[in-house]
């Protein structure tokens, strides 16, 4: 119990820049330690970076301590899609693989999905409904899974310099999973994309900047731009106050999704990711559309294209949505089923399917 209390105190001290930790502090002062832990995790959701190598000075994770995971985070198979779920490992990472029924032996597209903090591969597949979308589109989906020895709460370490470069750290490990699945399943190397949510979205932005030769596109959902932070302190700062200046995201087209009511990762970070995609690119066309899902949320979609029509970036702002996956499965944590179906939108953006997102819309 003492070790648990110490962990909460140190985590609260590291998270003073994030709104909403006061409730956890109050619960702890009242001696309600487990409730304090749950309150802190619930508030910080998929965005808190708490790697063992970057906690406050002098603090170490107590041996055997495990933070509570999200609902439905246990082992499961795809319960709504008829394809095959298998497990594998490459580059030091375990991964979950979904292969849709009827997928071609050679030449199928591949999406690499990077989960948010406190999630695992199964929980992320359930939250996003990506297996079902992949079944409709004929897309193979790999879900690399962060090791809890690398980050006790399962966050990708997108904020550490050692995990922001090519051929090093977690980018190299994720690239190894991508290459292994490509080789083993006859994936079309010209049709590989990466996408993620929250910390996974921030790591997806890292992947496009460090491995632009590996991916044809990337989806950044509720994330941050590459290089937004260099340590835990600057990560918290960026989550609350998006960076004003950004570095070039590289040549990979980006689709960006963010709720304008996100209190974990400020919505301005989505705008910063778009700016990074457009740095020095010379976009000459900008199209703006607005609409609303049937009985659900309003949205604004913007597209920027270069001369010749190639799309550089697409941005979805989902009005009234918090830190959740838009169009995700009802009943799952970090999912908002009332938002537009961005899983299908991502496949359309990557050119993996000709199916559009069926929402009422108007061009503005």
Q: What percent of the chain has pLDDT over 70?
A: 75
> Residue 226 has what pLDDT?
96
pLDDT band at 26 (very low <50, low <70, confident <90, very high): low
Contact between 78 and 133 under an 8 Å Cβ cutoff? The reply is: no
> Residue 282 has what pLDDT?
84
Asked whether the predicted pLDDT for residue 128 surpasses 70, the reply is: yes
Helix, strand, coil % in the chain, rounded to nearest 5: 30, 25, 45
The arrangement of secondary structure in 84-363, i.e. its CATH architecture, is 3-Layer(aba) Sandwich (3.40)
Q: What does the domain layout of the chain look like in residue ranges?
A: 2-48, 84-363
Asked whether the predicted pLDDT for residue 117 surpasses 50, the reply is: yes
Q: At what angle do helices 2-14 and 33-44 cross, to 10 degrees?
A: 30
> Residue 29 has what pLDDT?
52
Backbone dihedral angles phi then psi of residue 280, each to the nearest 5 degrees: 60, 25
Asked whether the predicted pLDDT for residue 60 surpasses 70, the reply is: no
Both tokens assigned to 320: 């009234």
Asked whether the predicted pLDDT for residue 81 surpasses 60, the reply is: yes
E strands of 260-359, at which residues? 285-292, 298-305, 311-318, 325-326, 335-336
Average pLDDT over residues 217-236: 96
Handedness of CA 295, 296, 297, 299 (dihedral sign): negative
What's the rounded Cα separation, in Å, for the pair 119 and 71?
9
Average pLDDT over residues 62-69: 33
Compare 57 and 324 and report the one with higher pLDDT.
Answer: 324
pLDDT band at 361 (very low <50, low <70, confident <90, very high): very low
List the one residue out of 321, 314, 271 whose CA is nearest residue 293. 321
149 is catalytic: no
Catalytic residue among 78, 198, 222, 315: 198
| β-bridge mates for residue 298, sequence order | 292
Those residues with Cβ within 8 angstroms of residue 293's Cβ, 6 or more apart along the chain or in another chain: 299, 327, 338, 339, 340, 341, 359
Average pLDDT over residues 256-273: 97
DSSP, collapsed to helix, strand or coil, labels residue 134 as helix
Helix (H) or strand (E) holding 109: strand 108-114
Average pLDDT over residues 233-250: 94
For 109-118, 123-132, 305-314, 322-331, which range has the lowest pLDDT when averaged over its residues? 305-314
pLDDT band at 261 (very low <50, low <70, confident <90, very high): very high
What's the rounded Cα separation, in Å, for the pair 186 and 107?
6
User: How confident is the model over 134-144, as pLDDT tens digits?
Assistant: 999 999 999 99
CA-derived radius of gyration, the chain: 19
> Residue 30 has what pLDDT?
52
> Residue 105 has what pLDDT?
84
Q: At what angle do helices 199-210 and 169-184 cross, to 10 degrees?
A: 80
- The mean predicted confidence, pLDDT, of the chain is 82
> Residue 225 has what pLDDT?
97
């Amino acid at each position: 119990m003492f070790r648990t209390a110490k962990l909460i105190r140190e985590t609260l001290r590291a998270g003073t820049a994030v709104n909403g930790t006061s409730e956890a502090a109050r619960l702890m002062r009242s001696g309600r330690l487990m409730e304090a832990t749950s309150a802190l995790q619930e508030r910080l959701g998929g965005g808190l970076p708490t790697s063992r190598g970057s906690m406050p000075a002098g603090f170490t994770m107590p041996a055997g301590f495990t933070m509570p995971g999200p609902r439905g985070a246990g082992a499961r198979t795809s319960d709504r899609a008829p394809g095959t779920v298998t497990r594998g490992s490459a580059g030091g990472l375990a991964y979950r693989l979904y292969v849709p029924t009827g997928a071609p032996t050679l030449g199928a597209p591949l999406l690499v999905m990077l989960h948010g903090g406190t999630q695992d591969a199964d929980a992320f597949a359930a939250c996003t409904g990506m297996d079902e979308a992949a079944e409709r589109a004929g897309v193979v989906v790999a879900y690399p899974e962060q090791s809890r020895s690398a980050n006790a709460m399962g966050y990708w370490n997108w904020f550490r310099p050692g995990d922001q470069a090519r051929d090093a750290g977690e980018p190299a490990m994720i690239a190894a999973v991508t290459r292994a699945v490509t080789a083993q399943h006859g994936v079309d190397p010209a049709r590989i994309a990466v996408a993620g949510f929250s910390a996974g979205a921030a790591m997806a932005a890292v992947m496009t900047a460090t491995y632009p030769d590996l991916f044809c596109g990337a989806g950044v959902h509720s994330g941050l731009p590459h290089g937004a932070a260099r340590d835990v302190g600057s990560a918290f700062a960026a989550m609350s106050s998006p960076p004003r200046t950004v570095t070039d995201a590289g040549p990979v087209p980006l689709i960006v999704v963010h709720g304008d009511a996100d209190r974990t990762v400020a919505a301005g970070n989505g705008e910063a990711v778009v700016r990074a995609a457009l740095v020095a690119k010379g976009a000459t066309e900008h199209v703006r559309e607005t609409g609303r899902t049937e009985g659900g949320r309003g949205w604004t979609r913007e597209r920027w294209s270069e001369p010749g029509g190639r799309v550089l970036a697409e941005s979805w702002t989902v009005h009234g949505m918090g830190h959740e996956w838009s169009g995700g499965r009802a009943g799952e944590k970090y999912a908002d089923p009332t938002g537009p179906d961005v899983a299908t939108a991502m496949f359309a953006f990557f050119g993996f399917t000709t199916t559009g997102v069926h929402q009422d819309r108007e061009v503005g």
